Amino acid sequence: MREFSVHRVSIQTQDFDLSAEVAALRAGDAAVGAVASFVGTVRERSGVGAAADSAVSAMELEHYPGMTERSIEAMIDEATARFDLRQVRVVHRVGRLLAMDQIMMVAVASAHRAQAFQACEFLMDYLKTQAPFWKKETTADGERWVDARVEDDQALARWGQWDRSDRSGIVARNV
Amino acid sequence: MKLRVRVRYFAALREALGAEEWVEVLPGSTVAMLRRQLVQRGGVHARLLAPDRAVRCAVDQQLALEDTVLVDGVEAAFFPPVTGG
């Protein structure tokens, strides 16, 4: 791990710039060979099963201050150890967002791409099921709290228990 | 001698039940016992915290199981399954 780390987690209302975040993530670290990232955005239509399929015009993101940061820090600790990461950055917005706005990002830096790709997906699966955020969508029909998806819990389960003696950290995926 | 627990609610639970309240529980109470105690109030608490409703709990800001034991002054939050990311 680097001696001087970027601040790993930010919960904020303002937008972020992925390329600036990635530049800061790997700045001055010649041991980085791979950076993988994910950005989540507000999609205009709500998910399958909505009878009226009303367009989502806006979204309100609530969170549990204190627990939010702590839970993401814990996820980052596990990902860092498991995938031998050099740096991680998670930014998650809260408050009111509009269709096509950026919601959140994850970026990870490691020596090689296998760790980077898997760590990014691992962190997303964890974030989707463990981080205390709740979305409320605004549509033409009114406001509605988004339901959690069974698929997200299933996605988390596939990472299984990590054996610390496994130095590669890479899991055989049986999806 | 009862314990006092700071109960907090989030998202749809917060809209219906309020943001937070102090609740007295017996020493040795678990998350499950606290939830049952809230359900016993009837009304909207009973409807939203009933055993068949998907409600998560965090004690001291960490996800907790039903059998997690509560201590005096601890924070216990109830909320729907999370939907961040």
The whole-number pLDDT of residue A146 equals: 94
The whole-number pLDDT of residue A71 equals: 96
For chain A, how long is the longest CA-to-CA vector?
53
User: Is the separation of the CB atoms in B11 and A134 below 8 Å?
Assistant: yes
pLDDT in tens, A105-119: 999 999 999 999 999
Question: Which residue among A66, A131, A145 places its CB closest to the CB of B84?
Answer: A131
Q: CA angle at residue A68 from B74 to A25, to 5 degrees? A: 145
CA distance B57 to B78: 5
CA distance A70 to B55: 20
CA distance A127 to A152: 10
pLDDT in tens, A11-39: 999 999 999 999 999 999 999 999 999 99
Best mutation site among A67, A91, A97 for testing chain B: the one with the most B CBs within 10 Å?
A67
Chain A residue nearest residue B55, CA to CA: A148
Residue type, B9: Y
Best mutation site among B8, B20, B59, B82 for testing chain A: the one with the most A CBs within 10 Å?
B82
Closest CA to A138 of A94, A92, A97: A97
- Reported ipTM: the value is 0.95
The whole-number pLDDT of residue A140 equals: 82
Is residue A166 over pLDDT 60? no
Question: Which residue among B58, B81, B85 places its CB closest to the CB of A127?
Answer: B85
pLDDT in tens, A116-162: 999 999 999 999 999 999 999 998 888 999 999 877 888 888 887 66
Residue B6, CB-side half-sphere exposure with 13 Å CA sphere:
7
pLDDT in tens, A34-61: 999 999 999 986 555 555 556 778 999 9
Those of residues 26-65 in B touching chain A at CB distance below 8 A are 54, 58, 61-63
Question: Which residue among A40, A103, A129 places its CB closest to the CB of B82?
Answer: A129
The domains of chain B are located at 3-79
The whole-number pLDDT of residue A152 equals: 80
Question: Which residue among A40, A104, A133 places its CB closest to the CB of B82?
Answer: A133
In sequence order, the 6+-apart residues with CB closer than 8 A to the CB of B77 are A64, A67, A132, B7, B8, B9, B10, B57, B58, B59, B61
Predicted model pTM: 0.89
Shortest Cα–Cα distance, A30 to chain B (Å): 30
Best mutation site among A11, A62, A90 for testing chain B: the one with the most B CBs within 10 Å?
A62
Residues paired with residue A37 on neighbouring β-strands, in sequence order: A107
- Work out the pLDDT band at A65, boundaries 50, 70, 90: very high
Give me the CATH topology for the region B3-79.
Answer: Ubiquitin-like (UB roll) (3.10.20)
- Work out the pLDDT band at A163, boundaries 50, 70, 90: low
- Residue-range domains of chain A with CATH: 9-157 (3.90.1170.40)
Q: Is the dihedral of CA A136, B14, B20, B62 positive or negative?
A: negative
pLDDT in tens, B5-61: 999 999 999 999 999 999 999 999 999 999 999 999 999 999 999 999 999 999 999
pLDDT in tens, A70-85: 999 999 999 999 999 9
